[in-house]
C-alpha cells in the first residue's frame, strides 16, 4: 500500500473558522508573540498566557472539520496516510484522520511545567492553581518559540517514506517544520495547495502547485490520486 504524507498548517483550519490570531503586523490578538508563546512570556505573566490559550480553546470547541479534513479520510480508505500538522487544534482527529503528528502540540491538552511527559486531556479553562499529579502548575501543551520540537525527528522519518507528499495550508516559511520537504526521496511527487503560493514550480523536483484553498483544492486532488494510483 502506498504511503501518502500530508503536511498541514493554519490554512486548512482557517476554512473551518479557526482564527489564525496573527495580525498583519505580526501581533497575536494585540500581543507580541513572545508575550503569549514563549517560556519567558509565561514566566513573566502566566495569567495573560493562560487566558490567551483559554480563548483559543473556547473558539476551537465552536467549529467543525471542513471538506479538506474530510477528504483526507477518503485517502485513508485506500492508502497509508499520515498527517503531520503544525496546527494545535483537533479538527483532523474529529474528521476521522487516524495518524496525526502534532509538531507544535495540542490545544486540548495541558502538561506539567516540570515534567513534559505528564500530559492531561484538557477542554476547559486552564488557570493558575491547576496542578499536575506531581503538584506543579499546568501549562498549555504547546511548543512555544525557543522550545525544541520533540516530534520533529519522527516526522522526518515518516516523510522519508512518502510515495506522495501533499503540502496544504502552510506557507513553508515556518521552521523547523518547513525543512520536512527536504526529507522526501528525490522524484517523489509533491503537491502544494495554496491560493497564494510562496514557492515556484522550479523550487522542487516533481512539484505540482494547485492554486486553490484547502477546501477547493484537496477534495479534487484526492479523487485524482485515488483514480490514478489504484
* Residue from 110, 72, 106 nearest 86 by CA: 106
Which pLDDT score is estimated for 198?
Answer: 83
Dump pLDDT digits (tens) for 46-81. 999 999 999 999 999 999 999 999 999 999 999 999
Confidence of residue 164 (pLDDT cuts 50, 70, 90): very high
Comparing C-alpha atoms, which of 197, 189, 198, 196 is closest to residue 221?
189
CA distance 84 to 103: 7
Q: d(Cα 220, Cα 99) in Å, to the nearest integer?
A: 22
Binding residues for substrate: 53, 56
**With bands split at pLDDT 50, 70 and 90, how would you rate the model's confidence at 109?**
very high
Q: What is the pLDDT of residue 230?
A: 80
User: What is the Cα–Cα distance from 102 to 155, expressed in whole angstroms?
Assistant: 9
Q: Closest Cα partner for 214 from 87, 66, 101? A: 66
Binding site per annotation, positions for NAD(+): 9-28, 86-89, 169-171, 214
Residues contacting 96, CB < 8 A, separation 6+: 70, 73, 76
DSSP tally for the chain: helices H, then strands E: 8, 9
> Could you give the dihedral angle defined by the CA atoms of residues 169, 174, 175 and 178, in that order, rounded to the nearest 10 degrees?
30
Q: Give the chain's mean pLDDT.
A: 93
Does the pLDDT at position 169 exceed 80? yes
Q: Determine contact, residues 150/119, Cβ cutoff 8 Å.
A: no
In what helix (H) or strand (E) does residue 112 lie, and over which residues does it extend? strand 105-112
Annotated binding site: 9-28, 53, 56, 86-89, 169-171, 214
What count of other Cβ atoms lies within 10 Å of the Cβ of residue 227? 8
- The closest of 203, 194, 230 to 68, measured between CA atoms, is 194
Model confidence, pTM: 0.94
Residue 108 has pLDDT above 90, yes or no: yes
Residue-wise pLDDT tens digits, 3-14: 999 999 999 999
Catalytic residues, which ones?
Answer: 104
Q: What is the pLDDT of residues 175-226, one digit of tens each?
A: 666 789 999 999 999 999 999 888 888 888 899 999 999 999 999 999 999 9
Whether pLDDT at 26 is above 70: no
Which has the closest alpha carbon to 108: 41, 147, 54, 49?
Answer: 54
Quick check: 29 pLDDT over 80? no
Judge whether 20 and 10 are in contact, CB under 8 Å.
Answer: yes
Amino acid at each position: 500500500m502506498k504511503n501518502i504524507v500530508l503536511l498541514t498548517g493554519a490554512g486548512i483550519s482557517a476554512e473551518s473558522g479557526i482564527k489564525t490570531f496573527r495580525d498583519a503586523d505580526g501581533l497575536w490578538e494585540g500581543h507580541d508573540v513572545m508575550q503569549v508563546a514563549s517560556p519567558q512570556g509565561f514566566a513573566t505573566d502566566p495569567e495573560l498566557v493562560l487566558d490567551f490559550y483559554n480563548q483559543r480553546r473556547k473558539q476551537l470547541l465552536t467549529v467543525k472539520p471542513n471538506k479538506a479534513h474530510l477528504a483526507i479520510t477518503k485517502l485513508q480508505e485506500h492508502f497509508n496516510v499520515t498527517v503531520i500538522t503544525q496546527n494545535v487544534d483537533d479538527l483532523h482527529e474529529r474528521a476521522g484522520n487516524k495518524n496525526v503528528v502534532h509538531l507544535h502540540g495540542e490545544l486540548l491538552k495541558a502538561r506539567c511545567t516540570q515534567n513534559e511527559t505528564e500530559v492531561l486531556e484538557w477542554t476547559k479553562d486552564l488557570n493558575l492553581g491547576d496542578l499536575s499529579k506531581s503538584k506543579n502548575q499546568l501549562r498549555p501543551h504547546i511548543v512555544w518559540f525557543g522550545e525544541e520540537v520533540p516530534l520533529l525527528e519522527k516526522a522526518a522519518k515518516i516523510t522519508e517514506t512518502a510515495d506522495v507528499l501533499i503540502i496544504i495550508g502552510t506557507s513553508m516559511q515556518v521552521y523547523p517544520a518547513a525543512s520536512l520537504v527536504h526529507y522526501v526521496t528525490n522524484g517523489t511527487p509533491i503537491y502544494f495547495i495554496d491560493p497564494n503560493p510562496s514557492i515556484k514550480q522550479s523550487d522542487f523536483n516533481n512539484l505540482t502547485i494547485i492554486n486553490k484553498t484547502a477546501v477547493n483544492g484537496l477534495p479534487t486532488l484526492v479523487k485524482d490520486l485515488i483514480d490514478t494510483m489504484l
